[in-house]
């Protein structure tokens, strides 16, 4: 039995359901409730004084805790409401005043998270030219094609460390090295790796990284982050900005912003304070456990899911190599959407994505029995459905 199961008693939220959906929303640890309570208490008891006593520095404190987990130096991680706005902050650093002539190409794979595709395409109206690299197998990002597309015309390569649909781990090191060799920069989206696959941003020498705490970090919605390599940060001046990024925010000066240095340069307006409290429950816990041990346990559970699927001849949308698979295994079964809805009704929490299937994402708090139960439940639903009269026969 996994020793990580000792942490299960820190999650009252796991009672009464099979919680197998960390790729979407990690289970709530009890400590998140304590942090939320602290937020309410501080607000009630200290009122507006909370800003100077606790809230103003919260983005910095949370950013530094995240930095410690992902190999980023202090004061290099800013906090944002979601990844799309963090990514918009990056885009806003580039315009005709600092994009060298002929270097306006964005390279991304067609399996990139849709929100990010929508954002870059919107900017393609006046700023960027986009080259999309197709992923023909629907699972992996084709490395050779990707490296070939990154050339002297490339400005940015926004790429997920782990593809959300297939949980495929891309070769971030090779992509960053190629980008740097031609003068391009990489935006690594670590949303689907942070908390389940070890990441070290300084070792990778990546230019930017974005991610959020609501999935594998068990931190709840609203706490997303942006890392900018410190030497690069010094040269940038985001246009998507606000009073928190000003060098003298309480001077309330008129006119254009004079940006401060460090992480706050990339903040904008008032931060999402409640989320910055709640997220620390998961953040503290994952830091205490360590992502290396979570990764080992995750690999065991993925192998188990694949074996159970193979025994049944079920198709999976997942890479064969365990080193290239992150925390999710997707089961591509007939009528997956309906099947997923039935599983949810029966308190088996999984989700469904088109061209992918039912995504099963166990985390350190799950037992082997919960995985076996899921398969037994799908078997049961399949038998129940077979014994139902078909709608055509019924109509007839
Ligand atoms: C890789 C990746 N990037 C981004 C997002 C979400 O972005 P946002 O925080 O803007 O909703 C997700 C959500 O599932 C994701 O998996």
Q: What is the pLDDT of residues 129-153, one digit of tens each?
A: 999 999 999 999 999 999 999 999 9
| Pocket-testing residue among 164, 193, 275, 352, ligand 1, by greatest number of atoms within 8 A of Cβ | 164
Range of the domain at 311: 3-20+291-384
CB of 348 within 6 A of ligand 1: the answer is no
Distance 163 CA to ligand 1 centre (A): 10
Which ligand 1 atom lies nearest to the CA of residue 81?
A: 9
- 177 to each of 60, 91, 140, 180, 360, how far by Cα in Å? 30, 21, 19, 5, 33
Instruction: Assign 355 a pLDDT band (cuts: 50, 70, 90).
Output: confident
Adjacency order of strands within the sheet including 224-228: 77-80, 224-228, 208-212, 185-189, 154-160, 105-109, 129-133
Mean pLDDT (whole number) for 30-50: 98
- Pairing state between β 129-133 and 18-19: unpaired
Angle at 119 (CA atoms; ends 117, 122), nearest 5 degrees = 105
Mean pLDDT (whole number) for 152-170: 97
Instruction: Assign 390 a pLDDT band (cuts: 50, 70, 90).
Output: low
Which of 287, 316, 335 finishes a domain? 287
Burial (CB count within 10 angstroms: exposed 0-12, middle 13-18, buried 19+), residue 155: buried
Mean pLDDT, the chain, integer: 95
CB of 189 within 6 A of ligand 1: the answer is yes
Instruction: Assign 224 a pLDDT band (cuts: 50, 70, 90).
Output: very high
Distance 270 CA to ligand 1 centre (A): 22
Mean pLDDT (whole number) for 113-119: 97
- Looking at the structure, do residues 44 and 154 belong to the same domain, yes or no? yes
**Distance, CA of 329 to CA of 372 (rounded, Å):** 14
The answer to whether residue 169 is domain-embedded is yes
Would you state the pLDDT for residue 364? 98
Instruction: Decide if pLDDT at 221 tops 60.
Output: yes
- Looking at the structure, do residues 249 and 338 belong to the same domain, yes or no? no
Q: If DSSP codes are grouped into helix, strand and coil, which group holds residue 79? A: strand
Distance 376 CA to ligand 1 centre (A): 31
- Looking at the structure, do residues 79 and 221 belong to the same domain, yes or no? yes
Which of 264, 287, 310 finishes a domain? 287
CB of 191 within 6 A of ligand 1: the answer is yes
CB of 117 within 6 A of ligand 1: the answer is no
Instruction: Assign 395 a pLDDT band (cuts: 50, 70, 90).
Output: very low
**Which residue's C-alpha comes closest to atom 6 of ligand 1?**
83
| Pocket-testing residue among 21, 23, 80, 83, ligand 1, by greatest number of atoms within 8 A of Cβ | 83
- Looking at the structure, do residues 330 and 190 belong to the same domain, yes or no? no
The answer to whether residue 253 is domain-embedded is yes
**125 HSE (CA, 13 A, CB side):** 4
Would you state the pLDDT for residue 323? 97
Crossing angle (nearest 10°) for helices 58-70 and 273-289: 30
CB of 326 within 6 A of ligand 1: the answer is no
Contacts of residue 367, Cβ cutoff 8 Å, sequence gap at least 6: 1, 5, 8
- Looking at the structure, do residues 85 and 202 belong to the same domain, yes or no? yes
Which of 287, 308, 331 finishes a domain? 287
Would you state the pLDDT for residue 392? 45
Would you state the pLDDT for residue 249? 92
Distance 189 CA to ligand 1 centre (A): 8
Report phi then psi at 75, rounded to 5. 65, 30
The answer to whether residue 361 is domain-embedded is yes
Token pair 């670590």 in the structure block, residue: 190
Q: If DSSP codes are grouped into helix, strand and coil, which group holds residue 290? A: coil
Distance 164 CA to ligand 1 centre (A): 8
- Looking at the structure, do residues 283 and 302 belong to the same domain, yes or no? no
CB of 160 within 6 A of ligand 1: the answer is yes
**Distance, CA of 93 to CA of 225 (rounded, Å):** 16
Would you state the pLDDT for residue 187? 98
- Looking at the structure, do residues 139 and 279 belong to the same domain, yes or no? yes
* pLDDT, tens digit, 9 for 90 and up, residues 253-280: 999 999 999 999 999 999 999 999 999 9
Would you state the pLDDT for residue 96? 87
Q: Which of 245, 252, 169, 236 is nearest to 204 (CA)?
A: 169
Helix residue ranges per DSSP H, the chain: 30-46, 50, 58-70, 83-91, 114-123, 143-149, 172-181, 201-204, 230-233, 273-289, 291-311, 336-345, 368-387, 391-395
- Looking at the structure, do residues 91 and 240 belong to the same domain, yes or no? yes
Distance 353 CA to ligand 1 centre (A): 14
- Looking at the structure, do residues 270 and 317 belong to the same domain, yes or no? no
Mean pLDDT (whole number) for 37-60: 97
135 torsion bin: left (phi>0), alpha (psi -120 to 50), beta (else): beta
Mean pLDDT (whole number) for 14-39: 97
- Pairing state between β 77-80 and 105-109: unpaired
The answer to whether residue 325 is domain-embedded is yes
How many structural domains comprise the chain? 2
Report phi then psi at 228, rounded to 5. -125, 130
Distance 81 CA to ligand 1 centre (A): 11
- Looking at the structure, do residues 317 and 331 belong to the same domain, yes or no? yes
What would the two tokens of residue 106 be?
Answer: 């964005």
**Distance, CA of 66 to CA of 74 (rounded, Å):** 9
- Looking at the structure, do residues 224 and 269 belong to the same domain, yes or no? yes
Q: Which of 331, 329, 327, 381 is nearest to 358 (CA)?
A: 331
Would you state the pLDDT for residue 394? 40
| Pocket-testing residue among 81, 112, 212, ligand 1, by greatest number of atoms within 8 A of Cβ | 212
| Pocket-testing residue among 26, 108, 113, 226, ligand 1, by greatest number of atoms within 8 A of Cβ | 113
CB of 83 within 6 A of ligand 1: the answer is yes
**Which residue's C-alpha comes closest to atom 7 of ligand 1?**
83
- Looking at the structure, do residues 142 and 76 belong to the same domain, yes or no? yes
Mean pLDDT (whole number) for 362-387: 95
CB of 115 within 6 A of ligand 1: the answer is yes
């Amino acid at each position: 039995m996994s020793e990580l199961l000792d942490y299960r008693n820190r999650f009252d939220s796991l009672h009464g359901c099979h919680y197998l959906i960390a790729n979407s929303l990690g289970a709530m640890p009890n400590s998140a409730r304590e942090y939320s309570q602290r937020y309410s208490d501080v607000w009630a008891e200290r009122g507006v004084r909370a800003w100077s006593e606790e809230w103003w520095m919260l983005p910095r404190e949370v950013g530094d805790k995240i930095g410690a987990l992902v190999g980023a130096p202090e004061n290099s991680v800013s906090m944002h409401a979601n990844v799309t706005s963090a990514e918009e902050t990056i885009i806003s650093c580039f315009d005709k005043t600092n994009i060298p002539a002929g270097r306006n190409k964005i390279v991304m794979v067609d399996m990139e998270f849709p929100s990010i595709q929508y954002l870059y395409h919107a900017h393609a109206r006046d700023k960027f030219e986009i080259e999309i690299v197709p992923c023909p197998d629907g699972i992996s990002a084709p490395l050779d094609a990707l490296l070939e597309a990154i050339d002297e015309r490339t400005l940015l390569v926004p790429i997920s460390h782990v593809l959300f649909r297939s949980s495929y781990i891309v070769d971030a090191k090779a992509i960053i090295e190629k980008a740097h060799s031609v003068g391009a920069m990489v935006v690594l989206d670590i949303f689907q790796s942070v908390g389940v696959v070890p990441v070290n941003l300084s070792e990778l020498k990546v230019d930017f990284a974005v991610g959020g705490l609501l999935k594998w970090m068990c931190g709840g919605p609203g706490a997303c982050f942006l890392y900018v390599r410190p030497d690069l940060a010094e040269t940038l001046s985001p246009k998507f900005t606000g009073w928190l990024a000003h060098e003298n925010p309480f001077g309330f000066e008129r006119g254009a912003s004079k940006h401060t240095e460090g992480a706050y340069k990339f903040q904008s307006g008032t931060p999402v304070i409640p989320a910055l409290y709640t997220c620390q429950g998961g953040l503290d816990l994952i830091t205490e456990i360590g992502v290396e041990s979570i990764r080992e346990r995750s690999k065991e559970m993925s192998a188990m899911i694949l074996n159970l699927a193979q025994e049944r001849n079920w198709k999976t949308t997942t890479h064969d190599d365990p080193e290239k698979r992150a925390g999710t295994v997707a089961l591509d079964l007939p009528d997956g959407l309906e099947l997923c809805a039935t599983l949810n009704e029966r308190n088996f929490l999984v989700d469904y994505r088109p061209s992918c299937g039912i995504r099963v994402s166990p985390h350190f708090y799950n037992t082997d029995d919960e995985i076996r139960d899921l398969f037994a439940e799908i078997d049961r639903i399949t038998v129940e459905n077979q014994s139902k009269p078909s709608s055509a026969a019924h109509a007839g």
